[in-house]
């Protein structure tokens, strides 16, 4: 797990990262520093979650990676090429769904994709209809392919935008809130699709405000706050960086709180016959013994599993803004 500022790419012997940034910064007119000296490394073949509260610099970073915004300083490489200078080389190998799909409402879903594909100079017109049909099928829109896009629900529009990113084989897929507007079943289907794409060798860079989504589907993640990278690494290591809550089940909750606080536990919360707290230092066996010695009837004592949300709060000192 790398802390922000440690450097992005590292000197490992594995495959070169698909995305690297070095001191990447963006300052807008008026002086606002949106991204501050970002060093990011996205491993090849990973599903990489990009996390951060509203205003943390995620969208600006993505737009710089795709060559849509010029950095103020620093540099970014995508698929081994500098961006935005090598955009013509890089972008045919990148599928992207950013800030929702741009659709022609008067065209059907199928005709939207046909128009997208026709605008791609690298696309083979001889296989266009076959590839469009395959992309629609992959996102579950075959039955609605002839329906006008203006009649699509938000979730259907999101699926169609994802289909547009899948018209060609991609080395890298960049997705901004890919499950926005989907029902729980649709969210599960998109998560399964993302995993399937990764298994086929596509690196997926996924920005989301849904921390449980990141935890379920991503292999790696980075956490941004106020334009700076706080930490990046495998998701399991990010979660391991935050200590879990101690949960004590007892009918003597008040006495348990007293003993736990005496031993250095913090933030005790009582819910019925359950006491949860930030655990005291030292061995949990000693805490159990202290509770029993004090006459507390202990019916259960466990460490709650640390979620990615717990890790996020520990890293940023704030809750996650679901406005993303």
CB contact set of 260 (below 8 Å; sequence gap of 6+): 246, 248, 268, 275, 277, 280, 287, 291
Predicted local distance difference test score (pLDDT) of residue 224: 87
- Structural domain spans, the chain: 2-240, 246-305
CB contact set of 244 (below 8 Å; sequence gap of 6+): 279, 303, 304, 305, 306, 310
Predicted local distance difference test score (pLDDT) of residue 231: 85
pLDDT digits (tens, 9 = 90+) for 243-288: 678 899 999 999 999 999 999 998 899 999 999 988 898 888 899 9
Predicted local distance difference test score (pLDDT) of residue 240: 61
Predicted local distance difference test score (pLDDT) of residue 180: 74
pLDDT less than 50: residues of the chain: 6-12, 320-324
Predicted local distance difference test score (pLDDT) of residue 53: 76
> Architecture of domain 2-240 in CATH?
3-Layer(aba) Sandwich (3.40)
Q: Which fold has domain 246-305?
A: Alpha-Beta Plaits (3.30.70)
- CA 300 – CA 220 distance, rounded (Å): 34
3-state secondary structure of 286: helix
DSSP per-residue codes, 82-121: EETTTHHHHGGGEEEE-SS----TTSBHHHHHHHHHHT-T
Predicted local distance difference test score (pLDDT) of residue 12: 47
Query: What tokens were used for 25?
Result: 């910064």
Q: CB of 205 within 8 A of CB of 172?
A: yes
Predicted local distance difference test score (pLDDT) of residue 75: 95
pLDDT digits (tens, 9 = 90+) for 17-44: 999 999 999 999 888 899 999 999 999 9
């Amino acid at each position: 797990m790398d802390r922000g500022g440690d450097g992005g790419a590292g000197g490992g012997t594995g495959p070169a990262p698909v995305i690297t940034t070095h001191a990447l910064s963006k300052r807008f007119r008026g002086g606002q520093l949106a991204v501050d000296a970002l060093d990011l490394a996205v491993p090849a073949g990973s599903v990489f979650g990009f996390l951060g509260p509203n205003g943390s610099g995620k969208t600006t970073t993505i737009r710089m990676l795709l060559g849509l915004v010029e950095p103020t300083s620093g540099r970014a490489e995508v698929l081994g090429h500098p961006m935005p200078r090598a955009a013509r080389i890089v972008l045919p190998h990148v599928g992207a769904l950013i800030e929702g799909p741009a659709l022609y409402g008067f065209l059907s879903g199928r005709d939207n994709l046909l128009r997208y594909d026709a605008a791609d100079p690298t696309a083979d017109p001889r296989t266009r209809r076959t590839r469009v049909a395959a992309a629609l099928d992959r996102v579950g829109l075959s039955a609605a392919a002839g329906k006008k896009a203006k009649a699509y629900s938000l979730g259907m529009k999101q699926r169609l935008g994802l289909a547009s990113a899948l018209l060609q084989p991609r080395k890298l897929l960049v997705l901004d809130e890919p499950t926005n507007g989907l029902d729980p079943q649709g969210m599960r289907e998109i998560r399964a699709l993302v995993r399937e794409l990764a298994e086929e060798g596509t690196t997926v860079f996924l920005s989301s405000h849904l921390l449980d989504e990141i935890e379920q589907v991503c292999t790696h993640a980075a956490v941004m706050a106020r334009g700076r990278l706080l930490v990046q690494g495998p998701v399991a290591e990010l979660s391991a960086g935050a200590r879990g809550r101690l949960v004590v089940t007892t009918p003597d909750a008040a006495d348990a709180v007293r003993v736990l606080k005496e031993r250095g536990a913090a933030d005790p919360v009582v819910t019925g016959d359950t006491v949860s707290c930030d655990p005291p230092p030292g061995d949990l066996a000693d805490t159990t013994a202290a509770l029993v010695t004090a006459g507390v009837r202990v019916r259960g004592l466990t460490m709650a599993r640390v979620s990615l949300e717990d890790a996020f709060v520990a890293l940023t000192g704030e809750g996650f803004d679901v406005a993303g």
